[in-house]
Structure 1
Amino acid sequence: MRDARGRDMVRLGDVTDHGGKVIEANDELKHLGIAVSLDGHGVICPKCGGVFPLLASGPRTHRGRRVGYHGDKTGCGATVVGA
């Protein structure tokens, strides 16, 4: 599902521009059969050396947490770019 700007939801396994990937998601919410990541879910970053939270900016929420969309940042400044 896309937001008003045409961005896809962040899903487990999506990659970042720092060479990292999304390692945490909510199994209750899926997009194209893959679990969707919410605000605060973990993203590993090899460039910055650690696991950082997804900083979701989308308007949609699931159980009180914002849904992540491609283009959202992580706690280290990486951008989620997709699969």
Structure 2
Amino acid sequence: IFLGRFEVSPQVICAPTDSRAKPNWHTLTFQNSKTRGAVLACFELFYADKFNKDEIPLMPAKKDVDSRFEVPGELRPKFEDFAVQ
């Protein structure tokens, strides 16, 4: 069963000074080219060899709940308060 696909291009990170990927909306596409919904995500590929293996970012710290990771603050959506009258 084919449910659809997200086509994305990852950002390649070769050095710690390279800019990091920013979240973007990626559309879900079906076989007949129709689209339904989207996902907000960013994708990064880290180049690692024996010289820069220690420069790869560590996994986020686990929260108290098993199998959950904290989303880094720079990736969390920014919300604004507003009032409806």
TM range (shorter): under 0.3
TM-score by length of 2: 0.25
Q: Point out which structure has higher relative CO (alpha carbons under 8 A, 6+ apart).
A: 1
TM-score by length of 1: 0.25
